[in-house]
Structure 1
């Protein structure tokens, strides 16, 4: 086997609640995470040293990249001296709350496990992933999951049928995740009232596969600090609703927003209605069952 090409699915948050601050400084979260078909493609080629190449100009081609860190971690933990070339064909918008960097890192972990014949289980891969970032354990397995703790304590959930949606990101807006969580922690968390009813309704809606109930239960605590600070994101969310989405919400710490549609046909119509001003990057999407999948073997 000379090289591997993997599909690395992005994710949206259908539910994100910040419960408090953990002793380790991270936030205690209650999230519902969902893989979507918007994906990057990661190719791994054996080499003498570690290198990385990405098609997006804003993605670093060095040790700042999570995919690089993933390869470096496996080399260190398992004493591997062989190098690897990582090629990332970027389709998930950068700095969007769609876990593009995490998905790429997950693909490197899964791919190197196979390429280097390490024999690691999914649980072992997720444990490695947790050392790199909170979203990466989910991106390894994907699908639909409840995420607790830092978001890396995962329980698989069943989604009876795919959801159809449109994802859009304001081209000129990037939100700092650290700023978003820090601002929520200072301004909103002290006044937060615990209410598990909303979370329970989302889980029930997912189990029933009821798109209208899922749309009504969408919740993201990080909208509180981000929407006032970034009116373009707030306007995009409102625009989705004005154009027929049955529910719309920012994903993660933004700046991407998604609009849910009743079915594929309605999603296609929503996609067309959201076109026009050139100020947003927009994608027609549906949910998928997996995170990282093997695309093909290249010789």
Structure 2
């Protein structure tokens, strides 16, 4: 039985600017997307003739509504594969948190099945397939540091960052719908933002303090007024003594960039004790996207 295990990193948004509406119902955006080491593990096992998905997390669907399931079905449809696959997801990335957890699992399925089924699809072809399912999937396939435009699927690589420590926080019982956040953005008040050129310059110079200074997310103007607990979490992380803090994606995860992992761990311990209703994670930026952890060849016949 042939199987493989893939590492599926989450992402944070260092910059998210909404520049207008599109005729397809999406928004035009300019984003800087960044992989982090906080990752899911996805095991794919070629088995039977159906797609099956299992995950112990109670909020992860096990059916066709799961992006990972949809990724396998799309590959079957486009390539004529008739074999089945069992998808087992070990969640570490918080669910419904603006960190592309579902998208990175789908990206892992595309990359893994491309190898297990010997499809020979290029990175660009996998990204194009992923864009049919979700705007974050093309980025998750590649990972690293990327400038994203269009609806987020048009990607340009940026210089890989030297690791920057990050402390992430999310209220345990809170999720924010991406569709809701973007729909309500039209009525949100505009905020002052630093130019995207300033963020790109900070990345080019590997200047973590400047990257922190120019963190920006237009969706905060929607989410923070509606969810004051997220606004308070951002304020708490801003006061932690790091380079800056902002919300990732549509939230409700907020992250702070910090000078060291040691400081991040110390803050995590203090804040977790003071705020048991919030889950905190320590991670750091990563240059890697989907990667193979384990690949088991076909067992010889008995």
**Is TM > 0.5 for Structure 1 vs Structure 2?**
yes
Paired residue for 1:34? Answer: 34
* 2:46 alignment partner, SS class: strand
- Mapped to 2, the partners of 1:134 and 1:270 lie a distance apart of 33
Q: What are the Cα deviations for residues 54-99 of structure 1, in whole angstroms up to 9, with x where unaligned?
A: 1211110000000000000000000111000000001100000000
Q: How many aligned residue pairs are there?
A: 295
TM-score of the superposed pair, with normalisation by structure 1? 0.95
- Mapped to 1, the partners of 2:21 and 2:75 lie a distance apart of 30
* 1:266 alignment partner, SS class: helix
Paired residue for 1:230? Answer: 227
Of 237-246 and 153-162, more deviation after overlay is shown by: 237-246
Q: Does 1:53 align with 2:38?
A: no
Aligned-residue offset at 1:192? 7.5
Over 3 Å off, 4+ runs: none
Paired residue for 1:24? Answer: 24
Q: CA RMSD in A?
A: 1.4
Aligned-residue offset at 1:4? 0.4
- Mapped to 2, the partners of 1:94 and 1:145 lie a distance apart of 23
Gaps of 5+ in 2: 298-302
Aligned-residue offset at 1:160? 4.1
* 1:186 alignment partner, SS class: coil
Q: Within 5 Å, which residues of 2 pair with 1:1-299?
A: 2-48=2-48, 49-188=50-189, 198-276=195-273, 277-298=275-296
Contact 1:42-1:86 at 8 Å conserved across structures = yes
TM-score of the superposed pair, with normalisation by structure 2? 0.94
- Mapped to 2, the partners of 1:9 and 1:175 lie a distance apart of 20
Contact 1:37-1:285 at 8 Å conserved across structures = yes
Q: 1:89 to 1:162 in 2, by over 3 A?
A: same
Gaps of 5+ in 1: none
Aligned-residue offset at 1:280? 1.1
Q: 1:167 to 1:34 in 2, by over 3 A?
A: same
